[in-house]
Chains A and B, each alone.
Chain A
Amino acid sequence: MPLELFTVGEPIADTKAPTDVPIGERWSERKFRGRLVNPANRRKLTVIVVGTGLAGGSAAATLGEAGYKVKSFWYQDSPRRAHSVAAQGGINAAKNYRNDGDSVHRLFYDTVKGGDFRSRENNVHRLAEVSVNIIDQCVAQGVPFAREYGGLLDNRSFGGTQVSRTFYARGQTGQQLLYGAYQALERQIAAGTVEQNARTEMLDLIVVDGRARGIVARDLVSGEISTHFADAVVIASGGYGNVFYLSTNAKGSNTTAIWRAHKRGAYFANPCYTQIHPTCIPVKGDYQSKLTLMSESLRNDGRVWVPKERGDDRDPRDIPESDRDYYLERLYPSFGNLVPRDIASRQAKNVCDEGRGVGPGGLGVYLDFAEAIERLGRPAVEAKYGNLFDMYAQITGEDPYAVPMRIYPAVHYTMGGLWVDYDLQSTIPGMFVIGEANFSDHGANRLGASALMQGLADGYFVLPSTISSYLADGPFEKVDDSHPAAVEALTGVQEQVQRLLNINGNRTPASFHREVGQLMWDLCGMERTDEGLRKAIDRIQEIRQEFWTNLKVTGDWTSFNQTLEHAGRVADFIELAELMCIDALHRRESCGGHFRAESQTPEGEALRDDENFAYVAAWEWTPEGQPPVLHREDLEYEYVHLAQRSYK
């Protein structure tokens, strides 16, 4: 690796987990050792929370309830629209309600293994412990989880596990959990503990004397750019999968909050870890603006196959069993269609690369319910998956009850994000990062139904406990908009929006976004090579140059201007894309959703290199023209032993 792409800095250690006690006691011990804030003092402390998805919404509600003064920010009109609302399949919890051998330890084990040994044991164990409280909390809020006839909660299974530990609300689990958190948040808004800032986007972080003390935000309706101050800042702005342009993320999902915090000194960890979801509706045309995933739970009953022969373009219903290849069941007899997402995605790509893909362009595989409909009857299939089938029919114009669905992998979730310690604090004191915006719990691949678990674990239970240790030193010295750091941040944001408007070139923000996204999918997507990544880095630098000289944004910044919003986000995506490629290039191993063609087993599975890469790559921003600095945090596996993953 040539030195000019990055330099290596001091290693970082996360020392906040009390490793002197067994793993099962560490979270309790951390809570005990942490300091508390007396209820009378909490109302003197202010916390900014950016984002109102499962993590941000639940955190703001909980902190407000606890008595802190909370300022909540979101870019949609209502917190109920945060993209957590779109999660379909479910939320994991180690309740062992099915008596099928589940336990906190097994959820912990499955998650560490599923993440291909690139997540922190301490964090994952805590996640598994807290999972049981999440279900209790949500049920008490009135989340209508699926139930058995006896009135107790139902469960189903998800990829990468052999137990049924996933709680669900038909195919709308994220929606129902989010509404629970949203309603809790609205209750606090009514109670006056949470101040609401709708349609407001964070555009910079204000750092005073090394501590995060506020944000610069733009009111998207009036255009006004203003400063907001607090004793601590919590970022819960979600993932950055939209760097690929086409993804399963909401169109507004972006990287701006975390990227600008990164530019203020927060390390960005494992940016190249992207989860590719195996069951999305395939791309249709070049006008397409987004991809829609079909819940992984469909793989409980649907069987994935392609024709055995390449070029077999018969109607799938006319292809006899003997001419079909149920490749997941053939390759992974223990887990079958329920292998983890990275493996299912990669095998789908492999069969399509072999020329056996189906549908337009050969980029698709069948997800077939014919056998399930025969075995269970159509009403039972409808009851379980009806809304997903309807959604598929609506988008494709095909009837999935009659013809097998066609699916293909798509960008879904980012496991990378801002680096945080065990307290979920970033490298900037006073700035905490929760949910998908941080990197900490999923390793190189996220198991299904774990994202909702992490969002709510962080927001309801982890952050509210750990942030008090920091706030116990507060309130900090008062800062207002006359402080030089605030003036500098505010002016910088104003200058940037004006600069975007002044270019007056010939290309729209969307055209740059599409171009950089396609490049990332081709060269930093499911499969990466040294050569491809170097090519991508060169090209991204050219795109960035062109962006700042040939962009066209109409209107002004003092009013509602959606093109300007998009332009600012694309500027950040372009910079992030380069860091993602550098991270992918330096990690010369395959792990999870990150497959380096140069590193594979004889069977074509991802081959990790634990000797050289069992670490978190935390990147430090450097001024333009300087290569980023890599800080390594070594990962230690005390309880789950490093092993080649096998789902055979």
Chain B
Amino acid sequence: MNLTLRIWRQQGPTVKGKMVTYKITDISPDMSFLEMLDVLNEQLIMQGDDPVAFDHDCREGICGMCGVMINGQAHGPQQTTTCQLHMRSFADGDTIDIEPWRASAFPVIKDLAVDRRAFDRIIQAGGYISVPTGTAPEAHATPVPKADSDAAFDAATCIGCGACVAACPNASSMLFTAAKVTHLGLLPQGQPERNDRVVNMVAQQDREGFGGCTNIGECSAACPKGISMETISRLNHDLLGALRAGARPKS
């Protein structure tokens, strides 16, 4: 396949970026999207040009490190991670636009790589169960109905890639936060901190500068792990309950 790539090049967070066009030839349809970028970068290095910076690691769809806007869609035309998108999804002669995640809470580091540490800070605000090592009760002491466990698992599969934020017109991180609130809130282990968790995590995402959720649903449509909008309903339900019960975010 022969392709025209238009890629966002930006030297650093404070430097103005622009789209740059590259022609690339002999691309196999079996290549992953990132392997196609590898081929481009090998060429750029050999020409003495600066290769395109992009984040990636496991390349098997689970670490959540990769992620770019491809023709305006988070992770491209299929509902999967960028590393699991294959060139067979494109046609010979296509022009492909490649840009970084677009959200002010995810500042650009260089080219296609962005800083997503805001997600970690949301987790720090309450996305855990407080259980010091070695103090846990015997695992079978607390049975969990299979349906609850399965639903918790579905929410727990969020990989924190940031596609939800990038896809959302408001750059809201609600789906990410809701996935964690749902995962822990569905399990008996998560009950003691349930109210505090939701108010603190929501407060933190506001502090990070993510936009508000207006239930558009682009997040879930772009999510490579299929996290459902139902988690957002659950978050809203928990938040209301927590506020009524008097829970207030830590300052």
Contact = CB atoms under 8 A, between A and B. Distances in A.
Interface residues of A, number: 79
Interface stretch (B124-132, B227-235, B239-247): B124-132
Interface stretch (A133-141, A312-320, A515-523, A589-597): A133-141
B124 A287 contact: no
B86 A397 contact: yes
B20 to A, nearest CB: 16
A33 B157 CA distance: 42
A221 interface: yes
Closest 9 CB pairs between A and B?
A151-B143, A183-B128, A140-B136, A190-B124, A144-B153, A136-B136, A139-B139, A81-B63, A250-B57
B19 interface: no
Contacts of A292: 59-60
Contacts of B127: 183, 186
Contacts, number: 213
A62 interface: yes
Interface stretch (B29-37, B91-99, B165-173, B205-213): B29-37
> Which of the listed residues A77, A148, A153 has the most CB atoms from chain B within 10 Å of its own CB?
A77
Nearest to A459: B133
B63 A187 contact: no
B58 A250 contact: yes
Interface stretch (A5-13, A361-369, A557-565, A580-588): A557-565
A79 B143 CA distance: 30
Given A83-B57, A508-B45, A97 B140 contact: yes
B144 interface: yes
Given A86-B58, A183-B127, A252-B57, A77 B116 contact: yes
A152 interface: yes
A287 B58 contact: no
30 contacts: A65-B132, A81-B58, A81-B65, A83-B58, A85-B62, A133-B134, A133-B136, A139-B189, A140-B137, A141-B189, A144-B149, A144-B150, A144-B187, A147-B143, A151-B144, A153-B139, A179-B156, A183-B128, A186-B127, A187-B128, A221-B109, A285-B31, A287-B28, A394-B84, A395-B86, A460-B133, A508-B42, A508-B45, A552-B45, A552-B48
Contact of B45 (A97, A150, A179, A563): A563
A441 B190 CA distance: 34
Contact of B120 (A144, A145, A186): A186
Interface string A79-92: 11101011000000
Interface in B75-99: 80, 84, 86, 88
A284 B30 contact: yes
Contact of A560 (B84, B109, B159): B109
A285 B30 contact: yes
Nearest to B114: A77
Interface stretch (A170-178, A255-263, A531-539, A627-635): A170-178
Contact of B152 (A76, A142, A182, A395): A142
A169 to B, nearest CB: 6
B129 A140 contact: yes
B45 A144 contact: no
B115 to A, nearest CB: 7
A146 interface: yes
B110 interface: yes
B12 A559 contact: yes
A221 B135 CA distance: 38
B72 to A, nearest CB: 22
B59 A251 contact: yes
A137 B136 contact: yes
A554 B49 contact: yes
B119 to A, nearest CB: 7
A78 interface: yes
A537 to B, nearest CB: 28
B16 interface: no
B7 interface: no
Given A139-B136, A142-B190, A563-B51, A80 B143 contact: no
A70 to B, nearest CB: 13
Given A190-B124, A289-B35, 14 more contacts: A80-B120, A81-B63, A85-B159, A139-B136, A142-B189, A147-B144, A149-B146, A251-B56, A285-B31, A511-B42, A554-B51, A560-B109, A563-B41, A563-B45
A198 interface: yes
A58 B133 contact: yes
Contacts of A485: none
Interface residues of B, number: 77
Interface in A274-303: 284-285, 287-290, 292
A61 B42 contact: no
Nearest to B145: A151
Contacts of A86: 58, 60, 62-63
Contact of B46 (A133, A172, A508): A508
Contacts of A61: 133
A37 to B, nearest CB: 16
Nearest to A281: B60
Contacts of A250: 57-59, 63
A391 B81 CA distance: 11
Contact of B62 (A95, A151, A175, A187): A175
Contacts of A141: 128-129, 131, 136, 189
Interface string B154-166: 0011011000000
A480 to B, nearest CB: 28
Contacts of A142: 129, 152, 183-184, 187, 189-190
B216 interface: no
Nearest to A87: B62
B11 to A, nearest CB: 8
A176 B41 CA distance: 34
A510 interface: yes
Contacts of B156: 144, 169, 176, 179
Given A77-B115, A139-B136, A552-B45, A184 B128 contact: yes
B55 interface: yes
A464 interface: yes
Contacts of B51: 554, 562-563
A288 B32 CA distance: 8
A461 interface: yes
A83 B63 contact: yes
Interface string B64-80: 11000000000000001
Contact of A461 (B113, B128, B129, B134): B134
B142 interface: yes
A140 B12 contact: no
B3 interface: no
Interface in A38-77: 58, 61-62, 65, 76-77
Given A97-B140, A147-B146, A554-B48, A395 B64 contact: no
A161 to B, nearest CB: 20
A511 B46 CA distance: 11
Interface string A84-120: 0110000000010100000000000000000000000
B125 to A, nearest CB: 7
B62 A140 contact: no
Contacts of A554: 44-45, 48-51
Contacts of A133: 134, 136
B61 interface: yes
B157 A172 contact: yes
